[in-house]
C-alpha cells in the first residue's frame, strides 16, 4: 500500500466526482473546464513520479515571493488530467517561469492577456506521447493539452491569477487554457530549440515564453526562402504596428512544407534568424496607416524600430503537419520585459 505523505492542503469530503467538480467550479478553482478530483492517493503518485516531497519548493514567484511547492504542482497536474509521467515536464515549466527574466508576476497581472507558450524538446516528448505534427498547436494530444493546462491551474490557484482579480486581462486568448507543443525533431534537419539555447543534445528540456495569440500565415506560391520569410515578417510587422512595437522574443512555428523549402536551399535556423532580424522593422510614421497618427507624430517619424534585439531573440520551432504551406508567428507579451527561458527536464 502506498504511503500517503502529509499534505498542507485541506482535505474536503464529497459524494462523488461530479460533486467534486461542482465544488471546484463554485469556488473558482478551475479554468471553467471539468477537473479530475485531486485525491490524496493521486497526488502522492504524482509526487513519486518526480521523487519530490510535498513541501519541496519548485520555484518562488520573484515579485511577491510566493513559494510554489511540489504538492501544489501535483494537485494542478492531477486536476488538469495529466498522467504521472508528465510531471517532470510540468515541474520544469514552473521552474522556468520562476526565473526573474520571465517576469511571471507582470505577465500574469497584465491587461495584455498573455499566456505561457511551452515548447518541449528531447526524449521525453516521445516517451509521454506528445504531438509535434498534425494540429500541433491545438487538440491532438493528452500530454500537450494537460501539461499546458496544469501551468494555468498553478497560476490560478497558487499565484492567485483569477480573472478580474490579479489577472487583469482585457481579452486574453485561447492559449490561456493551454499552449504547449513538442518540437518535431525526428522530421527536421535543424538543431532542436533546446540545443540552440544551450541544453546538451539528447537532454529533455522545456522552453517557456510569455506570448500573445499566434498568427497563422500561408505561402504556397514560391520556393524562395526569402519570399517565404517575407510572409512571416509581414505578420511580425503587423503585430508591431497593431499591438506592440517593442523588441524582444518572437517565435516562428514552421511546418514541414516550409521546412523542406528551407532545407532545399541550405537554410538552417540561424539563416532564418539573421534574415528576419534585418527584415522585421517598421518606421514610427507607419503607425499612421493603422489609426495611430496621434502617436506617430510625437517623435521622429523616420525612427526605425526592430522586432528583435538580435537574431538570437527569434525562437524557431519545427512543428506542424506534413501538408500545406503554413506556419505561425507567436508574438511576445511585452518585448524584452519578459524573455523566454529554457531549462532541462530532470529525469
Beta bridge partner(s), residue 314: 250
Q: Return the DSSP state at 186.
A: T
Q: What are phi and psi of 52, to 5 degrees?
A: -120, 150
What's 260-323 look like in SS3?
HHHHHCCCCHHHHHHHHHHHCEEEHHHHHHHCCHHHHCCCCCCCEEECCCCHHHEEEEECCCCC
How many Cα atoms sit within 13 Å of 57 on the Cβ side? 7
Residues in the chain where the model's pLDDT stays below 70: 1-2, 347
CA distance 232 to 218: 9
69: its cell numbers:
511547492
CA distance 122 to 201: 8
| Contact criterion met (CB below 8 Å) for 137 and 181 | yes
CA distance 132 to 311: 24
CA distance 237 to 22: 45
2-52 per-position pLDDT tens digit: 678 889 998 899 999 999 999 999 999 999 999 999 999 999 999 999 999
**What pLDDT is attached to residue 299?**
79
**What pLDDT is attached to residue 2?**
63
The two beta strands, 326-330 and 250-254, are antiparallel
Neighbours of 90 (CB within 10 A): 30
**What pLDDT is attached to residue 261?**
98
The pTM score is 0.96
Q: Return the DSSP state at 199.
A: P
Q: How buried is 129 (Cβ within 10 angstroms: 0-12 exposed, 13-18 middle, 19+ buried)?
A: middle
Buried b (16+ CB within 10 A) or exposed e, 311-342: bebbbbbbbbbeeebbbbbbbbbbbeebbbbb
**What pLDDT is attached to residue 130?**
98
Angle, in degrees to the nearest 10, between helices 256-264 and 225-242: 130
**What pLDDT is attached to residue 1?**
52
End-to-end CA distance of the chain: 25
**What pLDDT is attached to residue 5?**
84
**What pLDDT is attached to residue 342?**
98
Amino acid at each position: 500500500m502506498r504511503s500517503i505523505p502529509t499534505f498542507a492542503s485541506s482535505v474536503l469530503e464529497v459524494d462523488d466526482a461530479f460533486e467534486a467538480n461542482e465544488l471546484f467550479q463554485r469556488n473558482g478553482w478551475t479554468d471553467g473546464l471539468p477537473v479530475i478530483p485531486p485525491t490524496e492517493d493521486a497526488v502522492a503518485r504524482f509526487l513519486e513520479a518526480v521523487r519530490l516531497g510535498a513541501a519541496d519548493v519548485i520555484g518562488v514567484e520573484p515579485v511577491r515571493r510566493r513559494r510554489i511547492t511540489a504538492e501544489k504542482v501535483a494537485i494542478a497536474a492531477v486536476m488538469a488530467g495529466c498522467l504521472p509521467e508528465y510531471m517532470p515536464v510540468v515541474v520544469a515549466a514552473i521552474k522556468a517561469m520562476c526565473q526573474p527574466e520571465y517576469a511571471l508576476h507582470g505577465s500574469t497581472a497584465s491587461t495584455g492577456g498573455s499566456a505561457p507558450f511551452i515548447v518541449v524538446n528531447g526524449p521525453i516528448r516521445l516517451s509521454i506521447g506528445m504531438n509535434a505534427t498534425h494540429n500541433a498547436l491545438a487538440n491532438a494530444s493528452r500530454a500537450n493539452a494537460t501539461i499546458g493546462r496544469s501551468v494555468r491551474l498553478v497560476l490560478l490557484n497558487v499565484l492567485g491569477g483569477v480573472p478580474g482579480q490579479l489577472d487583469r486581462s482585457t481579452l486574453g486568448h485561447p492559449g490561456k487554457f493551454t499552449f504547449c507543443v513538442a518540437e518535431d525533431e525526428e522530421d527536421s534537419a535543424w538543431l532542436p530549440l533546446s540545443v540552440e539555447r544551450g541544453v546538451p543534445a539528447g537532454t529533455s528540456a522545456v522552453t517557456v515564453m510569455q506570448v500573445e495569440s499566434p498568427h497563422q500565415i500561408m505561402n504556397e506560391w514560391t520556393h524562395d526562402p526569402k519570399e517565404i520569410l517575407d510572409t512571416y515578417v509581414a505578420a511580425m510587422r503587423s503585430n508591431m504596428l497593431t499591438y506592440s512595437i517593442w523588441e524582444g522574443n518572437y517565435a516562428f512555428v514552421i511546418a514541414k512544407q516550409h521546412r523542406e523549402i528551407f532545407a532545399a536551399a541550405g537554410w538552417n535556423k540561424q539563416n532564418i534568424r539573421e534574415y528576419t532580424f534585418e527584415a522585421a522593422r517598421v518606421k514610427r510614421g507607419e503607425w499612421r496607416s493603422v489609426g495611430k497618427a496621434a502617436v506617430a507624430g510625437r517623435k521622429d517619424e523616420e525612427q526605425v524600430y526592430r522586432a528583435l534585439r538580435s537574431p538570437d531573440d527569434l525562437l524557431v520551432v519545427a512543428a506542424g503537419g506534413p501538408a500545406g504551406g503554413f506556419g505561425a508567428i507567436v508574438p511576445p507579451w511585452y518585448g524584452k520585459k519578459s524573455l523566454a527561458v529554457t531549462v532541462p527536464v530532470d529525469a
